Amino acid sequence: MEEGFEIGVQILPAESKMIKVHRDVVAKLREDSVLRGNHEALKRSLAGLSREDYKKQKHDWIGKNILPYIDST
């Protein structure tokens, strides 16, 4: 971790559904500036949480605010 940023690498098979889900989430955030701003505000509000709590709350937020609006089948 450097200056508050952590970079992780996850290796998945090319046909993994999670790759499409991740790309769809990123695309949705890129196209919707309000949603992107809300996402950034959420991440700032989670500062100081443990890694596990941060990931859980961010995952829950994405599940409620983005996943219902993308087609990742």
Residue 6 lies in a domain: no
**In a domain? residue 39:** yes
51 domain-assigned: yes
Q: In the chain, how long is the greatest CA-to-CA distance?
A: 37
- Could you tell me if residue 55 is inside a domain? yes
Q: How far apart are CA 26 and CA 47, in angstroms?
A: 21
Digit-coded pLDDT (tens) for 3-56 = 666 777 888 888 888 888 989 999 999 999 999 999 999 999 999 999 899 999
Say if 2 falls within a structural domain.
no
- Token digits of residue 6: 């952590």
Q: What was the pLDDT predicted at 15?
A: 86
- Identify the domain containing residue 61 by its residue range: 17-69
Alpha-carbon span 61 to 41, nearest angstrom: 12
Q: How many domains does the chain have?
A: 1
40 falls within a domain = yes
Can you give the length of the chain in residues? 73
Let me know if residue 3 belongs to a domain: no
